[in-house]
Amino acid sequence: LFCNIVYKMDPLSNLPDEVLCHTLSFLTTKEAALTSVLSKRWRNLIAFVPNLDIDDSVFLHPEEGKQERYEILQSFMDFVDRVLALQGNSPTKKVSLKCVSMHDSNRVDDWISNVLRRGVSELDLSIYVTMDEYVLLSTKCFECRNLVKLRLESLCIGYQPDRICSDPVGWLAGGVFLPMLKTLVMKAVGFYVDEFFLKALPALEELVMVDVFWFWNDTDVTVSNANLKTLTMSSNHYSGTFSFDTPSLVYFCYSDYVAKDYPVVNMDNLVEARISLLVTEDQIERARTPENYLLDEGGDNVVLRFENVGKLMNGIRNVQYLELSPLTLEVLSICCDSMPVFNNLKSLTIKSDKDHTWQAMPVLIRNCPHLETLVLEGLLHHVGDKCGDVCNCVFHLGKSRSLTSCPVKVLEIQEFQGTMKEIDMVKHFLEYFMCLMEIKIYMNVVNTKLKKLRVIAKRMKLDNKNCNVQLLVNGELYKEWSAQLSL
């Protein structure tokens, strides 16, 4: 009796080293290291993997009965040391380092220096610390000529942690030069640098700053870069003044408390802007009252602060696509007299809620002479003494003169609930938007009975042969809409 033994070849192991290393680059570094046990063929491939994805959280969740936390942290750091030592001077392209626990800052600094020395082009650093811990980012990150993309999260930049309460040390101003950097993302970062910081990034095209702490809150901040194309700023911290000297900017997303002033806003080539200003309820109350000239206890004139937003709007006057939050619209009601004309604006998106007014809408619509599309995310809003010019909330002698002069052709209404008040507003728009050709009404309905939709459709019997009205339920055209309109 003979037994035929067939040895099956592993087709994956027959691939060239370059292909295998490229494949391993899509795994985390720990997963890539585990492949070394497959065979001798795989044992040393980790040394040539161009991408590193190092995350200590995969080490910090041991099964019950395993090592203590300190031992696990030590094991993690030893693992990183071994991987970097094994790779030697082999080139690296992309490195992601995530530490959810405090580590030896000197060793972390050595890791960063290692990959920078080997020509890394994309570096992602996320080092999370508690309020009583500090990690001062190494200056080496800002002296690399190969970096193209840099992402920083939960780090401190540009000051000495033991001198937070004294004079910060802005050592970055004279030591930064990243000639190839195109993208810089900073999230939850303590930031103390001056305007020269961005000037040391001549190739920068995209800047994202989320929850960035400017030391201190009264700091006057200047974002200045001649080549910057995209700027995203999202925070909720009070500041002094904000200036933007970004002549090449095409996309601007700004969400923060209203600054004291906007001395310089240079965005002549802007195409799209999303503005979401934050204010306190007390500031809104002061702005709405006739005695709004009164000062806050700190000497801050709320109305003057809001009026300075007019400078921000004037700086973005060439924009083609504009989105405004409910609070932003509330603030703009104070600076209507300084509202610029948006000659290039094609699409305007207004977000609404029941707590904030439309009082800036009449001026805003009149100052958009070439508007083609108006998007209203919600129709319900706080009734003011001036918003009646563009809606049917209150009687107004010059009612709807803003709408009749508006050239808008497409009206999109989102978050529609089907109330009689909303239906009346739709009819109002049909009557006074003289150039209107299409209305799209979006309803997000969950488990709504078909009977209710039929009632809404019947109530919205609209006689306007020149305008195509569509009711879209959960993104799809309501099938019985046409039939209901003919009732």
Q: 333-370 pLDDT, tens per residue? A: 888 888 999 999 999 999 998 888 888 898 999 999 99
Task: Give per-residue pLDDT as tens, 89-101.
Answer: 988 999 999 887 7
How much is the pTM? Answer: 0.83
pLDDT at position 395: 62
How would DSSP label each residue in 72-136? HHHHHHHHHHHHHHHHTT----EEEEEESS---HHHHHHHHHHHHHTT-SEEEEEE---TT---B
The three-state secondary structure class of 321 is strand
How many Å apart are CA 393 and CA 422, to the nearest integer? 10
Structure confidence at residue 165 (pLDDT): 36
- Cβ–Cβ under 8 Å, residues 201 and 167: no
Kindly report the average pLDDT of the chain as a whole number. Answer: 78
Q: What is the C-alpha R_g of the chain?
A: 29
pLDDT of residue 143: 76
Which of 169, 155, 159 lies closest to 123 in space, CA to CA?
Answer: 155
Q: Are 397 and 360 in contact (CB under 8 A)?
A: no
Question: Exposed/middle/buried for 386, CB within 10 Å: 0-12, 13-18, 19+?
Answer: middle
Is the CB of residue 371 less than 8 Å from the CB of residue 355? no
Q: What is the DSSP letter of 261?
A: B
Q: State how beta strands 272-278 and 251-257 pair.
A: parallel
All residue ranges of the chain with pLDDT < 70 are 1-17, 21, 24-25, 36-41, 43, 60-69, 102-103, 129-141, 155-176, 191-197, 214-218, 238, 290-300, 387-389, 394-400, 445-453, 457-465, 478-487
Token pair in block for residue 209: 């700053």
